[in-house]
């Protein structure tokens, strides 16, 4: 040992932990040969606890404060060392600082989907993720179960264990609650509280840890199921699909007609849409049915020699045709016709023009 080290060992030690990390749970104070001076100063800051370990046995635990280490405030260590009348410097002991503040930016999630039976969709797969906070509450249990002889313990060394516990408990909770997938969002808070309580029961006594917060951020269905739900929702918003398709076809035809650069392709598309719309409309009730023929006793109007005559009955009109007073070019009209037409083009009158009187016999 050099002269400088010998002189430094004669000075009063200051044992403290200036934590510059938010993810360190336990840190062991480095000391040459684990030797601590009589009367050394122990400083435990807020959010910390100090634990003395002597030959593998946990001795005294100190809460936040400033202490001068003597036999009076190290009763357990004094008993382990066998000090009857105080102790002389140096004495050997390991000092572990335990962070008791919350570590709040920890995340969890399901690496694989959770298989469940849903009342609406049948067998489904769910994924979930969220955040949680971790805090040390029992330094002795933490040192025994997780630290051992390590120099320090980081939160990332136990996050895998925490994620496994959360996911396993989450699957069990969802299976027991049997909440429909579409109702999960309205139960995030109650599910988060139940999940936190179940995890706290597992880690409190065994590991000396508490989980002050656990939040379910999202529970989601597979992507293909979400797309199917979106389609189903869209159809529900649209309502009558036939009416919607007719509306869409009408818009497309209008757009094609207003596009002068479409050329023949646009005309063909518009024509095809027109046929499709005509076929769809033809299948609607009441569309495409020929109007019934005029009922018996229909009155007819005649336009001949620049004058309008009538109305007359069908018998009178037939008699005028047979008498040669009307020919095929005489315009007629009756209720139900959209315009005046030549009598020879009217189906109800054309039969009267086919029967002709035979010519008279030749004169002897």
In 3-state terms the chain splits into helix, strand, coil percentages (rounded to 5) of 40, 25, 35
Angle at the Cα of 97 from the Cα atoms of 92 and 98, rounded to 5 degrees: 140
Placement of tokens 């200036």 in the chain: 18
| 307-312 and 300-304 beta bridge pairing | antiparallel
For 320, the token pair is 């005028």
pLDDT in tens, the chain (364 residues): 454 455 445 555 899 998 877 889 999 998 777 788 888 899 999 999 999 998 888 889 999 999 998 888 888 888 877 776 566 667 888 899 999 999 988 999 998 888 888 888 888 889 999 999 999 999 999 999 898 878 889 998 999 999 999 999 999 999 888 888 888 889 999 999 999 999 999 998 889 999 999 999 999 887 877 777 767 666 666 656 666 666 667 667 677 666 655 555 555 555 555 555 555 555 555 444 444 454 555 787 888 777 788 788 877 777 777 777 778 888 888 887 878 888 878 877 777 777 555 555 666 5
- For residues 146 and 184, what is the distance between their CA atoms, to the nearest angstrom? 35
Q: What is the C-alpha separation between 132 and 216, in angstroms, rounded?
A: 9
Largest CA distance in the chain: 177
Tokens 């299976």 correspond to 175
Who contacts 352 (Cβ-Cβ below 8 Å, separation ≥6)? 318, 321, 322
pTM for this prediction: 0.59
What SS3 state is found at 247? helix
| Contact call for residues 250 and 154 (beta carbons, < 8 A) | no
């Amino acid at each position: 040992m050099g002269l400088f080290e010998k002189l430094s060992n004669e000075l009063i030690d200051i044992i403290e932990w200036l934590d510059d990390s938010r993810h360190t749970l336990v840190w062991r104070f480095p000391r040459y040969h684990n030797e601590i001076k009589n009367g050394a100063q122990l400083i435990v800051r807020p959010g910390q606890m100090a634990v003395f370990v002597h030959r593998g046995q946990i001795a005294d635990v100190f809460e936040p404060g400033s202490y001068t280490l003597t036999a009076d405030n190290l009763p357990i260590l004094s008993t382990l060392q066998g000090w009857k009348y105080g102790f002389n410097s140096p004495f050997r002991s390991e000092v572990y600082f335990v962070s008791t503040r919350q570590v709040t930016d920890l995340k969890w999630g399901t690496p694989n989907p959770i298989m469940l039976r849903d009342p609406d969709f049948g067998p489904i797969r769910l994924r979930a993720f969220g955040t949680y906070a971790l805090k040390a509450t029992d330094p002795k249990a933490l040192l025994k179960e997780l630290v051992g002889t390590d120099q320090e313990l980081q939160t990332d060394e136990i996050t895998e264990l925490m994620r496994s516990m959360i996911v396993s408990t989450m699957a069990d909770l969802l299976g027991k609650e049997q909440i429909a997938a579409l109702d999960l969002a309205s139960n995030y808070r109650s599910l988060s509280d139940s999940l936190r309580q179940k995890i706290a029961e597992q880690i409190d006594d065994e590991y000396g840890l508490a989980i002050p917060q656990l939040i379910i951020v999202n529970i989601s269905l597979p992507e293909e199921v979400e797309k199917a739900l979106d389609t189903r929702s869209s159809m529900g918003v649209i309502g009558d699909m036939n009416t919607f398709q007719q509306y869409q076809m009408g818009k497309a035809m209008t757009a094609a007609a207003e596009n002068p650069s479409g050329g023949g392709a646009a005309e063909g598309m518009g024509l095809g849409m027109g046929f499709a719309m005509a076929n769809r409309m033809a299948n609607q009730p009441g569309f495409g049915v020929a109007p019934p023929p005029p009922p018996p006793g229909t009155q007819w109007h005649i336009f001949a020699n620049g004058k309008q005559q009538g109305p007359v009955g069908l018998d009178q009109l037939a008699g005028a045709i047979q008498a040669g007073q009307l020919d095929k070019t005489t315009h007629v009209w009756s209720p139900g016709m959209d315009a005046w037409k030549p009598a020879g083009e009217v189906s109800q009158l054309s039969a009267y023009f086919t029967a002709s009187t035979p010519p008279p016999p030749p004169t002897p």
